[in-house]
Amino acid sequence: MSDISNTEGIPLYVKIRESLRQQIASGELERGQKLPSEDELATQFGVSRMTVRQGTSDLIDDGLLYRRHGVGTFVTLPHIERDHSRLTNFFENSDKHGIHAKATILEFEVIHATPMIAQALLLESDEFVIHIKSLRQADEVMVTLHDAYIPHRLFSEMIQEELHDFDVQHLWSKFEKNGYPVKRAVQKIEARLADQELAKVMQIQAGAPILFKERTVYAEDGTPVEFTYCYNRGDMYSLTVILNR
């Protein structure tokens, strides 16, 4: 043991990962620079080589490092943090950017699933779903209209709550409490125009650009927990995603 003491129960590879991440962030390890070899790092940190690899592998997934077989491990030039393309809650995201986010629930009802929704949520076509229509504002400006559908079978106790008590901000943590932690989402994205109805609700012009998302949210085990149509104001909303080859 040398640099890294086993304080608390934090795994060694996590400490190594964070130590390297910090060294990169601080500029101690410069862009494009070659890291010490895995053997060397193992010696420096006083761990085995496999443990070093476990740490660096995480940073490679994050896009901070890359390896060249037979050559070495290097710091990537611009740091594209994978964080920029992670699944986030509207409110989490707003918080982080210091934006005041608010949601107003327009409708809250239990209905039969449409074929489209049933297919997305893996339900029988006659099953019930909870429908929540909500309007989201960022700094008092209406940005998004959500039409969310949730399997009634999985979250029936949610409708026990009063409408004004209901907290759309913590919908996902509610899923988690019920044993379905939100893990991933598949989103189909399109450009559309606002029709009369949408324009009225969002207080924009009919024919204004709308970034339309059709999103299915899945729990850890792959259970679909939410299917949502999102209508985002085109001039107020953009989406950044990172794709790998």
Partner DNA sequence: ATTATCTAGACGTATAGATATCTATATTAT
Partner DNA sequence: ATAATATAGATATCTATACGTCTAGATAAT
We find the least distance from the C-beta atom of residue 222 to DNA, in angstroms, to be: 16
| Footprint on residues 178-217 left by DNA (CB under 7 A) | none
Quickly count: other Cβ atoms within 10 Å of residue 7's Cβ: 7
The reply to whether 210 sits near a second copy by the rule CB under 8 A is yes
Computed on alpha carbons and rounded to an integer, the radius of gyration of the chain in Å comes to 23
| 226 near DNA (CB under 7 A) | no
Task: Please report whether residue 229 would count as binding a second copy according to CB under 8 A.
Answer: no
Under the binding rule (CB under 8 A), the answer on residue 124 touching a second copy is no
For the chain, how many residues are written?
A: 245
Residue 111 or residue 186: which is nearer to a second copy going by CB? Answer: 186
CB of 1 or CB of 241, closer to DNA: 1
Nearer to DNA among residue 50 and residue 206 (C-beta): 50
| HEC sequence for 4-46 | CCCCCCCCHHHHHHHHHHHHHHHCCCCCCCECCCHHHHHHHHC
Is residue 71 part of the contact set for DNA (CB under 7 A)?
yes
Burial of 185 (0-12, 13-18, 19+ CB in 10 A): middle
Instruction: Give the per-residue contact string, 14-53, with DNA (x = CB under 7 A; - = no).
Output: x--------------------x-xxxx-----xxxxxx-x
Residue 42 has phi, psi (to 5 degrees) of -60, -45
Interface segment toward DNA; rule CB under 7 A; list 11-19, 90-98, 127-135, 152-160? 11-19
Of 27, 70, 98, 115, the one binding DNA (CB under 7 A) is: 70
What stretch of H or E contains 201? helix 196-202
Place of tokens 């076509």: 125
